[in-house]
């Protein structure tokens, strides 16, 4: 049987669609910068993008509970911590803070924990398959195809656009 309760319709649609878009467009790119920055010793880039990735992942968790989609929005008060218990916020920021200790050390274990943070955020949307990688030859179209199937209901419910305006609107 495939029947499963998913709770409030708006909450479920907003969470799945916006979480996937945020992970696909923002978090994956941030993690790629983190990996590349570790390799090249660009530690401020690593810190900036580790923080960005952590905030996107926290927002994905919050979307499942009580946050509204914000990722392409900047009111100056948009809150990536909304709906997330403070101990989870603290754990995420502590992981980012460990960038300070990385120079001269094996970054492997830390990168694994960052990778796990990304996977845990992705797991909240329960996709049947892993999310495609945007920055791979087939990834962009696979990801956009995945997201496009949700557009009609997102529009019908009057939820904010899933994809960033930078992608969908002329300059």
Partner 1 sequence: MSLAVQDVRRSRLEKHIAPYGLTSEQIRDQVDDVFGEPLLVVATGSVLAGFGRSTSDIDLYVVVPDEVASTPIVSYPSGARVDTALFGAGTLTERHRQMAGPWPPPDPSAIGHTRRRRSLDCLSRFGLGLPLATDAGQWQSWQQAIERDVPGWLSAWHAAEAVRKQAAARVLLPVKPRLAAQKAAEAVIAGLDRRCALAGECYFKSKFIGDKLRRLGDERGLAWARQALFLPVTLAESADYVRWADEVVDTLLADVDTRGWRLRLVPAAGVVWHSFGRETLVSRWSMRTVAVDADSPAATAQSWDYGLAEPWHPDVAGLFAEVMLWLGVAGPDPVGDR
Min separation Cβ 82 and partner 1, Å: 8
Q: How far is CA 161 from the centre of its chain?
A: 16
- Residue 101 DSSP code: G
153 binds partner 1 (CB under 8 A): no
Task: Count the alpha carbons within 13 Å of 66 in the hemisphere toward its beta carbon.
Answer: 6
Minimum CB distance to partner 1 smaller for 52 or for 61: 52
Q: What is the CA radius of gyration of the chain?
A: 16
Smallest CA-to-CA distance from 23 within 44, 47, 54, 1 is with 54
Min separation Cβ 78 and partner 1, Å: 6
- The burial class, CB within 10 Å (0-12 / 13-18 / 19+), for 39 is exposed
Q: Per CB under 8 A, which of residues 74..133 are in contact with partner 1? A: 74-82, 86, 89-90, 93-94, 96-97, 99-100
Minimum CB distance to partner 1 smaller for 14 or for 121: 14
Give the binding-site size for partner 1 (rule: CB under 8 A).
55
Q: 104, 92 in Cβ contact below 8 A?
A: no
Q: Which stretch binds partner 1 (CB under 8 A): 10-18, 104-112, 118-126, 145-153?
A: 10-18
Minimum CB distance to partner 1 smaller for 23 or for 54: 54
CA distance 32 to 36: 6
Binding site for partner 1 (CB under 8 A): 10-11, 14, 32-33, 36-37, 39-40, 42-45, 47-49, 51-52, 55, 66, 68-70, 73-82, 86, 89-90, 93-94, 96-97, 99-100, 135, 137, 140, 158-160, 165-171
């Amino acid at each position: 049987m495939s029947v499963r309760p998913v709770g409030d319709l708006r909450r479920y649609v907003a969470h799945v669609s916006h979480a996937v878009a945020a992970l696909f467009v923002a978090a994956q790119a941030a993690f790629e910068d983190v990996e590349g920055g570790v390799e090249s010793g660009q530690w401020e880039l690593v810190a900036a993008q580790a923080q960005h990735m952590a905030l996107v992942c926290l927002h994905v968790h919050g979307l499942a509970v009580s946050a509204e989609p914000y990722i392409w929005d900047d009111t100056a008060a948009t809150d990536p911590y909304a709906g997330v218990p403070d101990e989870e916020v603290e754990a995420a920021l502590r992981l980012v803070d460990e960038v300070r200790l990385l120079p001269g050390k094996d970054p492997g274990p830390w990168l694994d924990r960052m990778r796990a943070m990304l996977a845990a955020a992705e797991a909240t949307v329960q996709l049947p398959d892993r999310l495609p990688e945007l920055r791979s030859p087939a990834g962009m179209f696979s990801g956009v195809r995945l997201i496009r199937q949700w557009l009609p209901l997102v529009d019908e419910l009057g939820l904010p656009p899933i994809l960033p305006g930078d992608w969908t609107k002329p300059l």
